[in-house]
Amino acid sequence: MNSLLLTGGRVIDPANQLDAVADVLILGGKISAVGPNLAAGAPAGIPRLDAAGRVVCPGLIDLHVHLREPGQTAKETIRTGTRAAAQGGFTSVVCMPNTTPAIDNAGTVALIHERAREQGLVNVFVAGAITKGIAGEELAAIGSLHQAGVVAITDDGHCVQNNELMRRACEYAQMFKLPVMDHCQDYSLVTDGVMHEGYWSTSLGLRGWPSAGEEMIVARNILMAELTGTHVHCQHLSAAGSVALLRAAKQRGVPVSGEACPHHYTLTDAAVAGSEQFWKADGKGVFGFASPTREFPVWPAYDTHFKMNPPLGSARDREAVLAGLADGTIEILCSDHAPHCNYEKEVEFDYAPFGITGLETELALALMQLVHSGRLSLAAMIAKYTVNPARLLNLPKGTLTAGADADVTVIDPGREWVFDRAQAASQSHNSPFYGWPLKGRATATIVGGRVVWQLA
Ligand SMILES: [Zn+2]
């Protein structure tokens, strides 16, 4: 029946500006009512979930996830990726199209929808490619991708370098009111850089990736949004200059937005030099909460779990991303969950693939860096994971309004826990956050009125 009564939780629904202790009644997979004392009017024998002392909010949405299906199932599958999402408190994910083959045609979109229906624990929305094969040369059939149900287009993992082609993509997407999401990377500036260009890249002898490699494309995208009127969303922003560009463009009313990932607002490039350097320099403020059992995690220099695209920035970049999140310049939080096999990461830094897993740790890191640190209210943080991504992608999600799909996340913001490799749900283990003492965790994930995961 997909019916459930959540009792006594602090219900935070930013879409309705609601923050109050209340019950949430779910009937037939839909939100029926939110308010005090709903037990009296609920059907007899309805299953109950005691949410006293917990936060109850619309199901969290992660709009930047690599599920690796089809074709890269050694890294992750729809089954394991959505299980990781559920354990992280996410009821919806948007999967990126850089699979094998790329999601650049209606048939592959249909395949993912079908597998997600059969094997997915949470809702899976699909982002289609901008160009055929994500090769950056010829536009994909964006109209038929739209018909097949993609919620956005992006060449994520790659970046369309040809500005004329990007203009046509924006104009094409505009016909269907599809947002264009972009992984911002100027190839001519970045070349074969593997980490942020600065003190640590010089010190470690690794090839540098200048911040301008991201900022150049953020600026390009602002101009494209202005020229075409299409909404352009800049993915995983990491550089101070990118945040400044986005802030100024939004003040001018340009239809642009941005997202940030926990690694970019928690870590810095000092982490590539090893834990000792990181804790000594940039890590001091990361654990802003008291924990009697806290031990600082240890890792060596050149650890490939600190190699991501875009790379970890300087402490100044991290502060700028945090400031952008705090003042609303960056409206959306996500993980860029990017699973890779152990053997792929267990190589020299230069040869390792970019990316880390993130679905199971992002909520805790967001709570620690944004809420427990006092930078954002709980409601403002939840908005960046619910109503904001839902609005960008026109998803019928992200709210507890009566009649909405009963996707709900229950959170214990104060729960202290350690991310344990043995209990992780993702098929891959390329996370830099194993062994980290974290604060804040989802305790139940409810999709369409059904509890798909609950903390034991
Ligand atoms: Zn990307």
What does the pLDDT look like over 118-155, one tens digit per residue? 999 999 999 999 999 999 999 999 999 999 999 999 99
d(CA 359, CA 61): 11
Query: Distance of alpha carbon 83 from its chain centroid, rounded?
Result: 15
Q: Flag whether pLDDT at 288 surpasses 90.
A: no
**Cβ pair 178, 205 in contact under 8 A:** no
pLDDT tens digits for 203-245? 999 999 999 999 999 999 999 999 999 999 999 999 999 999 9
Q: Flag whether pLDDT at 46 surpasses 70.
A: yes
Summarize the confidence of residues 347-366 as an average pLDDT.
97
In this prediction, residue 292 has a pLDDT band, given cuts at 50, 70 and 90, of low
Residues marked as catalytic: 336
Please tell me the predicted confidence (pLDDT) of residue 296. 85
End-to-end CA distance of the chain: 23
pLDDT tens digits for 191-203? 999 999 999 999 9
pTM for this entry: 0.97
The residue written with tokens 């996830």 in the block is 65
| Residues in CB range of 302: below 8 A, 6 or more apart | 204, 206, 272, 274, 348, 349
Distance 9 CA to ligand 1 centre (A): 36
Average pLDDT, the chain: 96
The residue written with tokens 């505009």 in the block is 174
The b-or-e profile of 143-171 (16+ CB within 10 A means b, else e) is eebbebebbbbbbbbbbbbeeebbbbbbe
Portion of the chain with pLDDT greater than 70, in percent: 99
Q: Flag whether pLDDT at 285 surpasses 90.
A: no
The first and second tokens of residue 84, run together, are 């990781």
Summarize the confidence of residues 54-75 as an average pLDDT.
97
Summarize the confidence of residues 404-422 as an average pLDDT.
96
Summarize the confidence of residues 71-92 as an average pLDDT.
97
Distance 163 CA to ligand 1 centre (A): 18
Q: Flag whether pLDDT at 60 surpasses 70.
A: yes
Question: What secondary structure letter does DSSP report for 337?
Answer: B
d(CA 295, CA 207): 32
Distance 338 CA to ligand 1 centre (A): 9
The residue written with tokens 């949470």 in the block is 122
Which residues neighbour ligand 1 (ion) by CB within 5 Å?
A: 156, 183
Q: Residue 67 phi/psi, 5° resolution?
A: -90, -10
CB atoms within 10 A of CB 238: 28
Task: With CA atoms as reference, report the closest residue to 432 among 320, 354, 369.
Answer: 354
In this prediction, residue 11 has a pLDDT band, given cuts at 50, 70 and 90, of very high
The first and second tokens of residue 425, run together, are 């749900």
Distance 191 CA to ligand 1 centre (A): 16
Please tell me the predicted confidence (pLDDT) of residue 1. 65
